[in-house]
A and B are shown apart, each in its own frame.
Chain A
Amino acid sequence: KAGVTQTPRYLIKTRGQQVTLSCSPISGHRSVSWYQQTPGQGLQFLFEYFSETQRNKGNFPGRFSGRQFSNSRSEMNVSTLELGDSALYLCASSWTGVTEAFFGQGTRLTVV
C-alpha cells in the first residue's frame, strides 16, 4: 500500500510569510499527527487530528494551525513565519493515534 506522502519536500520562505504543508495518510488511517523536528529540540508534538477533529494540541503558538479533510488528508499552516520555524515537519498517520504510526519523509522548511 502507498505510504504517507508529504508535500512539498523542501520549502524556502521569507520571514513574515505564511506556508501550508500537506500530508496524505495511508488509506484507511483516520489519525494524522504533526511534529516539528529541530536539532536542538528533537521531535515536538504539534497537533493530532482524527476524523476531521483536532483532539490534541502541543505547546505551540496560535500561528501554527491545521485541519483535516473528510478523506483524512491533512494540512498544517504556519503564519507570520519566524527564523525559528525552520525545521523538518513530519506527519504521521495511524489507525487510532496511539498505535503504530507511519511517517512521511517530511517537509524541510527553511525561513530566511
Chain B
Amino acid sequence: SQQGEEDPQALSIQEGENATMNCSYKTSINNLQWYRQNSGRGLVHLILIRSNEREKHSGRLRVTLDTSKKSSSLLITASRAADTASYFCATDPAGANDMRFGAGTRLTVKP
C-alpha cells in the first residue's frame, strides 16, 4: 500500500523558475526520501531527511520536513530542461523495514 501522496500530480514551468512539490504521509516515520524517475526507467535517489531534521540542502535541491503535519516539500531552484522527470517521496513507516512511495509528481520544465 502507498504511504505518501505527492501534490501536485503534474507541474509545468519554464526553465529558470523554481519548482515546489509536496508530499504528505500517514504514519510516523524514521526517514523521508525523494527520488527522481526519468520516463519508464529506474528511480534515482536525490536526498534523505531524517525525522529529527527540518531542512536539508543538496545543490539546487532543498527539502523540508514537518513531522507535526506529516508533510515534506522538495524545492528545485533554477530549474533546467534536464529536471523534467517524475519525483517521488518515500517513507519508512514506523516498524517497517522497507520504503513506501507516493504516486509522484510529474514535472515538465520547458526550455
- Interface residues, chain A, CB within 8 Å of chain B? 4, 31, 33, 35, 41-45, 48, 50, 55-56, 58-59, 88, 90, 92, 96-106, 108
Tell whether, in the assembled complex, residue B2 and residue A44 are in contact, meaning their CB atoms are under 8 Å apart.
yes
Contacts of B31 in A (CB 8 A): 98-99
- Interface residues, chain B, CB within 8 Å of chain A? 1-2, 30-31, 33, 35, 40-45, 48, 88, 90, 92, 96-104
For B6, give the chain A residue with the smallest CB separation. A42
Given known contacts A98-B30, A106-B42, A42 and B102 CB-to-CB distance under 8 angstroms: yes
| Distance to closest chain A CB from B31 (angstroms) | 6
Q: Which of B1, B2, B97 has the most CB of A within 10 A?
A: B97
- If over half of A's interface residues share one DSSP class (helix, strand or loop), that class is named, otherwise mixed; here it is strand
Contacts of A97 in B (CB 8 A): 92, 97-99
Tell whether, in the assembled complex, residue B102 and residue A101 are in contact, meaning their CB atoms are under 8 Å apart.
no
Smallest CB-CB A-B distances: 4 pairs: A103-B42, A42-B103, A43-B101, A98-B92
Q: Which of A33, A42, A98, A102 has the most CB of B within 10 A?
A: A98
For A88, give the chain B residue with the smallest CB separation. B40
| Distance to closest chain A CB from B100 (angstroms) | 6
Contacts of A35 in B (CB 8 A): 101
Tell whether, in the assembled complex, residue B43 and residue A103 are in contact, meaning their CB atoms are under 8 Å apart.
yes
Given known contacts A43-B88, A98-B30, A106 and B99 CB-to-CB distance under 8 angstroms: no
Given A98-B92, A101-B45, 19 more A-B residue pairs with CB atoms under 8 Å apart are A33-B99, A42-B88, A42-B103, A43-B2, A44-B2, A55-B98, A56-B96, A59-B1, A88-B40, A90-B43, A92-B43, A92-B99, A97-B92, A100-B33, A100-B45, A100-B48, A101-B35, A103-B35, A103-B42
